[in-house]
Amino acid sequence: MKKILLFIPLLISCMVVKAQWSGATPIVTTSNTTAKASPAAINDGNGNMIIAWVDSRNSGTTGTDIYVQKINKDGTLPWGAEKVVCNATGSQSSVSLTSDGAGGAILVWEDARDAATANDIYAQRINNLGLPLWTTNGVVITNSTGTQVSPIATIINSTEAVVYWRDSRGTSQDPYCNKILISDGSKQWGVNDIQLSDAAGTQTNISMLPDGNGGVFLIWEDPTGTPTVTSDRDVFGQRLNNVGQKQWATTSTIGLPLISVVGAQQTPAICSDGSGGFVAIFADQRSGTNGGGDIYAQRFNSSGLKVWANDVQVVSAGGFQSNPTIVKSGADFVCVWSDPRVATSDRGIYAQKLNSAGVLQWTPSGGTALDGISICNVVGHQPSSSTSSGFVTVEDGLGGAFIVWDDARSPGSTSNSAIYAQHINTDATLAYAVNGALIEFVAGTTTIPSPAQKTPVVITDGTGEIITAWTDSRVSTNGQIYAAKVKSNGTLPVTYASFTATKNTLNEVSLVWNIASEINTDEYLIERKGETGDFVTIGIVKAQKLSSYNFTDRNPLLENNYYRIKAKDFDGTLSYSDIRTIKIDALNADALNIYPNPTSDRLNVNITKAGKYQLKLVDQSGKIVLNKSIELNSGVNDLGVSLSSFSSGVYYLTLTNDVHYINKKIIKL
C-alpha cells in the first residue's frame, strides 16, 4: 500500500551545508584547534564574503597553508568545507585577495617552498565554487634572489590584475610590481618585474588603486634616504599605465614625492576620488604639537598634482593619531583613525568626513570640526592592538561608513578582546549604540582563561547590513574563525543556545530550543523534511521574549525526520538553528491491511503484530478526529472503524507503538 509522507506545500530548499545566521557562526568546518591567522576578505560582487587565512593545521609537517571559505549573506557556507588554496611544503603566509570580476577571487601570498630563494610571491585564482583555476598550489609571481614580502593585488580590468610586493633583491627592500592575466596568472610586464623605487632604506605601507584606464596608482611611505631617522619620512608615489610605463617623474628612480614636508608623514592610505584621481590620508608630525602627530589628507589628479591648495588637517587633538583609513562614500570621503587623546592607555577611534573640495563636514556637539566624531572612547584600547589590523572601515554608499574593531574594554586586556561595530551616518549620527554595538565577546574558562576575538574583516551586503568575521580563540589559540551578520540597527539575528529533538512512546517528536539573545524576533517557524524533498513549515510559535520554546510534531514522517527552527525578525531577517534528526520506524507492510479503501462507512483494520498501539485519524487540516488506545494479541486482529459520522474527503490513519509508526491515506466517500 502507498505510504503517505507529507501533505504540506513545499517552501524552502534544503540544500544548505551549514545552519544560517544564529549569532556568531564558525566557518572552519574541518579543523578548529590549530591557529588561523591574518584573515583577508572581499565581497564576491553579490553581497557574499570570500575570506582567506593562514592555517596552521599542517605547521608541524609541511608548514602553514592558505585556506579560503565563502559565506553567503544568509549565513550558509555554499562550498561546504573550506578549500585549500596552497599546502605546498614550506610555509605560506601574508595572504591577500582581490575579486576576479566573475564571482571568484585572486589570492597572493608569501611562499617559502623554495629554500634557495627565501620567501617568494605566489598567486592562485579560484572560481565562484572555490575551485582553483591555475596550477595546483599556485603560480609563481616572483622567485628572485632575496626575500619578497607583503603582496597585494588589485584587478584593473576584466582580463588583468596587478600584484605589488616589497623586494630585497637589491641592497634594501624596495617596491616592485607586475601585471598578470586573470586567465592563467602569467606575468605581462617582463620576467624581472618593475621596480618602483630604489631609494635607500625600506619603503613600507604601500597602497595600490586602479586608475580606471588599465593602470594603477601606488603610494608608499619612504625614509627619504635616511632610514634611521624616523622623524623624516615622506609619502611618495607612482602611476603605471597598462604596459607598465611610469607616468610620473619618468626619469626618477625613486618615484614622485607627493607629501614631503618637515616631520614624518606615515602610513598613507588612498581611495578613488571618482574623477580619475585619488585622495590620500596619512599620519603627519609637521606640527610637532599635540603629543606628536595629527591626520592630514590631500587630493591628487591623474598627473600626480595636488588638487587642494593646501594639505587638509583632518584632526588636531592631544596624543598621536595613527592608522588612518579612508573610503569614498557617495560623493564624499570618510576618514577613520586611532586616537589616544583621552589617555595613552585608552586609545579610541574617531572619524571625519571631507567633501570633494577638502572641507571638513562633521562637527561634534560642543566642539569644532578638528575634533572629529567619537566612534568609541571608552576605557581600554580600541582597537586592542596598536596596529591597523585591529579595525577596518567600509563605506555605506550613502555618505557614511561602517567601522568594526577588536576592543579591550572587557575585561580591559589585549589578551581578551571583543568585537564591536559602529555605523556613522552621512549626518554624523551614530546608527548603533554609543561606543559601538557588541558583536561578540566570550568569557574565559578554566581551560582558556582569556579567549580573544581579534583582527576583524568586513563587507557590506548591499542592504544596509554588514558581514564581519574574525579570529577567535575560544577553543584554542586563534583556533577558529567566526562570522556574524550585523543588521542595520546594530543588532545580530537571534542567537540559539541549544536545540533538541526527542521522540516519545507515541512516536511524537518534541522540539525544544533555548534562546541566548532575542531582540527583534517576531516568530519561530518549525520546519521539517524527509530523506527527499524540501523543508516545509509544520508549525509557528510567536516570539514572547522567553528563554525557551517548544513544539510537538504529532505526525512525523516515516524513516528520518530532519528538523530546524527558522526565526523571523520584524524586518524580515531569517535566522536558522542547526538541524536535528529523528528516525521513525515503519510497521512492516505485511503486518497491516486496511480495507475497503475508499469506503463509505466501515473501515476494517487488520493487524498481525501484537502490542499496544495508538490509533489516530487526522483530517486534511491536521485536526485529530479520532484518537484511541488499543491492545492486540498475537495473530490476526480485525478492528472495525466506523466512518459514518465523518464528512467525505481525505483522511490519514496513523498507528503507532513504542518503536513503530505507519501513516495511511484513507478516502471517505
Residue 297 within any structural domain of the chain: no
Domain encompassing residue 500: 495-584
pLDDT confidence bin for 226, thresholds 50/70/90:
very low
Residue 152 within any structural domain of the chain: no
DSSP per-residue string spanning 548-589: EEEEEESSPPSEEEEEEEEEEETTS-EEE---EEEEEPBPPG
Angle (CA) 552 555 560, round 5°? 95
Q: Is 540 helix (H, G, I), strand (E, B) or coil?
A: strand
pLDDT of residue 386: 65
Residues 638 and 573 in one domain: no
Q: Is the pLDDT of residue 450 over 50?
A: yes
Q: What is the pLDDT of residues 570-579, one digit of tens each?
A: 777 788 888 8
Q: Is the pLDDT of residue 467 over 90?
A: yes
The CATH number for 657's domain is 2.60.40.2550
Residue 636 within any structural domain of the chain: yes
Give mean pLDDT, residues 174-194: 97
Is beta strand 649-656 parallel, antiparallel or unpaired with respect to 611-619? antiparallel
pLDDT of residue 15: 27
Residues 513 and 579 in one domain: yes
Compute the distance between CA of residue 138 and CA of residue 640 in angstroms, rounded to an integer.
73
Domain finish residue from 560, 584, 608: 584
Mean confidence (pLDDT) of the chain: 87
Burial of 559 (0-12, 13-18, 19+ CB in 10 A): middle
- Greater pLDDT, 444 or 307: 307
The CATH number for 537's domain is 2.60.40.10
- Contact between 17 and 38 under an 8 Å Cβ cutoff? The reply is no
Residue 624 within any structural domain of the chain: yes
Q: Is the pLDDT of residue 590 over 60?
A: no
Q: What is the pLDDT of residues 357-414, one digit of tens each?
A: 999 999 999 999 999 999 999 888 888 876 667 899 999 989 999 999 999 886 444 4
What's the pTM?
0.75
DSSP per-residue string spanning 486-538: E-TTSPPPPEEEEEEEEE-TTS-EEEEEEEEE-SSEEEEEEEEE-SSS-BEEE
Residue 415 within any structural domain of the chain: no
CA distances from residue 417 to 414, 442, 447, 497 in whole angstroms, order as listed: 6, 9, 17, 22
Residue 258 within any structural domain of the chain: no
Cell of 257: 614625492
Domain finish residue from 564, 584, 604: 584
Residue 656 within any structural domain of the chain: yes
Q: Specify the number of domains making up the chain.
A: 2
Q: Which residues have CB under 8 Å from 529's CB, separation 6+?
A: 14, 535, 536, 561, 562
Give mean pLDDT, residues 588-613: 77
Compute the distance between CA of residue 469 and CA of residue 481 in angstroms, rounded to an integer.
7
Residues 509 and 580 in one domain: yes
Q: Is the pLDDT of residue 19 over 60?
A: no
Q: What is the pLDDT of residues 502-534, one digit of tens each?
A: 998 777 899 999 987 777 788 999 999 988 888
**Looking up cell 565563502, which residue turns up?**
70
Q: What percent of the chain has pLDDT over 90?
A: 55
Q: What is the pLDDT of residues 138-164, one digit of tens each?
A: 999 999 988 999 999 999 999 999 999
pLDDT confidence bin for 488, thresholds 50/70/90:
confident
Q: How far apart are the first and last CA of the chain?
A: 19
Q: Is the pLDDT of residue 636 over 70?
A: no
Residues 575 and 643 in one domain: no
Residues 559 and 626 in one domain: no
* 3 secondary structure, DSSP code: P
- Greater pLDDT, 98 or 603: 98
- Greater pLDDT, 654 or 183: 183
Residue 218 within any structural domain of the chain: no
Domain finish residue from 563, 584, 605: 584
Residues 540 and 619 in one domain: no
Compute the distance between CA of residue 295 and CA of residue 321 in angstroms, rounded to an integer.
6
Q: Is the pLDDT of residue 129 over 90?
A: yes
Q: Is the pLDDT of residue 13 over 60?
A: no
